[in-house]
């Protein structure tokens, strides 16, 4: 079989069979802008209708799955409470408590480097909201992620783990 796959060299004067020529496709006729706009609008309407139908099928499927899981059918207009992911909780040391209702917390994370296997310390400072002004410099505190409270504050004081000595 290996001999069949080898190509036999052509003798001088012989011509290889020519590949069939493909017919050239003429370019589409020019379309005026108004007609092009109308075609785009029609295409957008078709796609929107397909999206609506698809989303409706998804809603029905989810409703059926919830009904099977919970045992009862929820009406289509019932508000389903949204559950978001878990909020991050970090522990750190208060570095500054000078501002009113704001503390600066230094969070240190020690991780093993993926390639070099050395323990690498990363330090990060965050501003946290301290509603009652309980935390003092040097306290070990736990902060939780929250919605933006100011330009730099995205954390809230959860608890004071250990008071400074």
Record the tokens describing residue 59, joined without a space. Answer: 């809603």
**Which structural domain, as residue segments, surrounds residue 93?**
89-162
Q: Are residues 104 and 68 in the same domain?
A: no
User: Is residue 91 a contact partner of residue 142, using CB atoms and an 8 Å limit?
Assistant: yes
- Distance between CA atoms of residues 138 and 164, nearest Å: 5
Record the tokens describing residue 66, joined without a space. Answer: 């919830």
Distance between first and last Cα of the chain:
88
pTM of the model: 0.50
Q: Are residues 108 and 45 in the same domain?
A: no
Residue 118 sits in a domain of what CATH number?
2.40.50.140
Q: With H, G, I as helix, E, B as strand and everything else as coil, classify residue 61.
A: helix
Record the tokens describing residue 52, joined without a space. Answer: 């609506």
In a domain, 2, yes or no: no
**pLDDT tens track, the chain, 165 positions:** 555 555 555 556 566 666 777 778 888 788 899 999 999 999 999 999 999 999 999 999 999 988 888 765 445 444 556 667 889 999 999 999 999 999 999 999 999 999 999 999 999 999 999 999 999 999 999 999 999 999 999 999 999 999 998
Instruction: Return the number of other C-beta atoms located less than 10 Å from residue 146's C-beta.
Output: 15
Q: Are residues 94 and 158 in the same domain?
A: yes
Farthest-apart Cα atoms in the chain, separation: 102
Q: With H, G, I as helix, E, B as strand and everything else as coil, classify residue 70.
A: helix
CA distances from 83 to 50, 80, 123 (A): 29, 9, 31
Q: Which of 44, 73, 102 is the last residue of a domain?
A: 73
Q: Are residues 97 and 43 in the same domain?
A: no
Record the tokens describing residue 127, joined without a space. Answer: 């501003």
């Amino acid at each position: 079989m290996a001999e069949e796959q080898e190509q036999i060299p052509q003798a001088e004067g012989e011509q290889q069979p020519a590949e069939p020529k493909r017919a050239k496709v003429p370019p589409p006729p020019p379309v005026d802008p108004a007609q092009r706009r109308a075609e785009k609008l029609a295409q957008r309407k078709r796609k929107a209708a397909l999206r609506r139908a698809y989303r409706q099928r998804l809603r029905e499927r989810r409703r059926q799955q919830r009904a099977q899981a919970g045992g009862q059918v929820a009406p289509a207009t019932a508000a389903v409470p949204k559950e978001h992911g878990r909020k991050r909780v970090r522990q750190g040391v208060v570095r500054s408590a000078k501002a009113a209702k704001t503390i600066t917390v230094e969070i240190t994370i020690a991780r093993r480097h993926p390639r070099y296997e050395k323990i690498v310390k990363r330090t990060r400072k965050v501003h946290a909201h301290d509603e009652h002004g309980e935390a003092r410099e040097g306290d070990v505190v736990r902060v939780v992620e929250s919605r933006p409270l100011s330009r730099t504050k995205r954390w809230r004081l959860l608890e004071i783990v250990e008071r400074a000595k």
